[in-house]
Amino acid sequence: MLSLALGEKLIQLARRCLERSFEKFEIEEVKEKELRKKRGVFVTLKEFPSQALRGCIGFPYPYYPLYEAVQRAAFSSAFEDFRFLPLKKEELNKIVIEISVLSKPRILKVKDPEEYFKKIKIGRDGLILKNGPFSGLLLPQVPIEMGWDVMEFLENLCYKANLTPDFIYDKNTRIWKFRAQIFYEVEPGGIVKELKLTKHGK
């Protein structure tokens, strides 16, 4: 678990990365050992105050040191998320940053797909689904924000992977779960807090 101070450091790294990326993308180094460990991470950008999604990209597996992964994900969320136009400089003070630091995904082993419904907990688990070349990922805060139960969570995970919900029961479907420690800005460039998830929300 990261301290709030380290979470704040990650948010600041992400914001500084965005600020300088309008000129040149460069990775800022850090000294903190915890931030130099390889971790999976997602960076989410939201419009303020509406909280509408503005970009979300990350690395589900620990490919990079955390400080580097955060900056790469921040850049990609701002400029490479195909769902949105690239971020403009004048938008920087109109977005808030949310960072989800992931545990290593572990596969859910089941004999019957019906077992998934007992092994997944809303407010704790994020999910990855893969079937052949198709894959989708949803962070643990998403079903809370959307008000989904486990069935709806799995159905929308299929949609995210460009599959229909019946693929929950397909013999070639594999599902992994992970947890996330989430830090977010209360307002653009403002106070950083840790988001504590429960089944009923924050």
* 182-199 per-position pLDDT tens digit: 999 999 999 999 999 876
Whether 184 contacts 193, CB under 8 Å: yes
92 in the same domain as 18: yes
CATH code assigned at 51: 3.30.700.20
Sheet holding 174-178, edge to edge: 106-107, 174-178, 126-131, 134-138
The mean pLDDT value for 149-155 works out to 97
Q: What is the pLDDT of residue 198?
A: 75
Q: Looking at the domain assignment, is residue 200 inside a domain?
A: no
Q: What is the pLDDT of residue 201?
A: 46
How many Å from the N-terminal Cα to the C-terminal Cα in the chain? 18
CA distance 143 to 124: 10
What is the DSSP secondary structure assignment for residue 64, as one 8-state letter? S
pLDDT surpasses 50 at 170: yes
Identify which has the larger pLDDT, 111 or 200. Answer: 111
77 in the same domain as 51: yes
* Per-residue model confidence as pLDDT tens digits over 154-163: 999 999 999 9
Whether 65 contacts 34, CB under 8 Å: no
For residue 159, give its domain range.
Answer: 106-178
Whether 136 contacts 157, CB under 8 Å: yes
CATH code assigned at 159: 3.30.1490.150
Q: What is the pLDDT of residue 199?
A: 62
* Per-residue model confidence as pLDDT tens digits over 35-93: 999 999 999 999 999 999 999 999 999 999 999 999 999 999 999 999 999 999 999 99
* Per-residue model confidence as pLDDT tens digits over 3-13: 999 999 999 99
CB atoms within 10 A of CB 53: 15
The mean pLDDT value for 136-159 works out to 97
Q: What is the pTM (predicted TM-score) of this model?
A: 0.94
The mean pLDDT value for 20-39 works out to 96
pLDDT surpasses 80 at 200: no
171 in the same domain as 77: no
* Per-residue model confidence as pLDDT tens digits over 110-138: 999 999 999 999 999 999 999 999 999 99
121 in the same domain as 71: no
The mean pLDDT value for 86-113 works out to 97
Q: What is the pLDDT of residue 197?
A: 86
Tokens of 89: 């400089």
160 in the same domain as 190: no
65 in the same domain as 47: yes
118 Cβ partners below 8 Å, 6+ apart?
Answer: none
Number of domains in the chain: 2
98 in the same domain as 35: yes
Q: What is the pLDDT of residue 70?
A: 98
20 in the same domain as 91: yes
Q: Looking at the domain assignment, is residue 118 inside a domain?
A: yes
